[in-house]
């Protein structure tokens, strides 16, 4: 198979785009447009950035690094949740629910434990009420939209499995309503460790 290098330009303003090897998404620092790359084609995707809320500590590098997350809006219908335990028998906690849930899924490589920890914390707290556009570098898009769907399901099941009872059966359906990208600011702690500048959660990459 023959390979060739292709120069990519922003479909909105014509500026050159920086794309790292195997990136699924690229971001134009000139006009703020984002594009998902699927099958060699660029499709628009909304990209915004969270403002830092925590000052760096003595261990952190002063320069902020922005890492991409998939912001996935879903509607979850949990039809049935069967679990063992006295509390469930007393208070009938096996009933289901249906509601909108916003998941935050890292689009960059990090350890599985870090991915689960920061995804659960961001999803529970929804800490980005008013993201905005920044003209800053945003690369390292290791996971595409289809990967994000699988990781949403993983995080949802993790939430349910880690409750205090003993999960026996789970019947549910996840409807995916929309996908966006949000750049989250991080301080570098070491070569393989970062701390986010919004909630102060450390991750390993």
Please report, rounded to a whole number, the percentage of residues in the chain having pLDDT higher than 90: 44
Q: Is the dihedral of CA 8, 9, 10, 16 positive or negative?
A: positive
pLDDT at 54: 85
Spatial contact of 44 and 179, defined as CB atoms under 8 Å apart: no
DSSP state of 150: H
Say how far apart CA 36 and CA 40 lie, in whole Å: 10
Sequence ranges of the domains in the chain: 25-204
pLDDT at 96: 67
**What is the rounded average pLDDT of the residues 58-79?**
87
Query: What are the angstrom distances between the C-alpha of 95 and each of 89, 166, 174?
Result: 11, 15, 17
pLDDT at 3: 47
**What is the rounded average pLDDT of the residues 116-137?**
88
CA 152 to chain centre: 9
Summarize pLDDT for 25-51 with one digit per residue, the tens: 888 888 888 898 888 788 999 999 998
Say how far apart CA 74 and CA 101 lie, in whole Å: 5
């Amino acid at each position: 198979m023959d390979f060739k290098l292709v120069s990519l330009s922003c479909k909105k303003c014509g500026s050159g785009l920086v794309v790292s090897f195997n990136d699924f998404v690229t971001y134009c620092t000139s006009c703020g447009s984002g594009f998902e790359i699927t099958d060699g084609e660029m499709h628009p995707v909304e990209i915004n950035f969270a403002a830092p809320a925590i000052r760096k500590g003595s261990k952190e590098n002063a320069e902020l690094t922005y890492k991409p997350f998939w912001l996935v809006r879903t509607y979850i219908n949990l039809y049935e949740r069967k679990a063992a335990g006295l509390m469930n028998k007393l208070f009938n906690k096996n009933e289901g629910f249906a509601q909108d849930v916003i998941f935050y899924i890292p689009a960059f490589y990090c350890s599985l434990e870090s991915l689960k920890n920061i995804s659960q914390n961001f999803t529970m707290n929804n800490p980005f009420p008013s993201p905005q556009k920044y003209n800053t570098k945003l690369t390292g898009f290791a996971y595409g939209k289809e990967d994000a769907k699988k990781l949403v399901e993983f995080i949802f099941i993790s939430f349910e499995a880690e409750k205090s009872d003993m999960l026996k059966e789970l019947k549910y359906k996840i409807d995916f309503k929309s996908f966006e990208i949000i750049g989250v600011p991080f301080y570098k702690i070491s070569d393989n460790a970062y701390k986010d500048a919004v909630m102060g959660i450390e991750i390993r990459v």
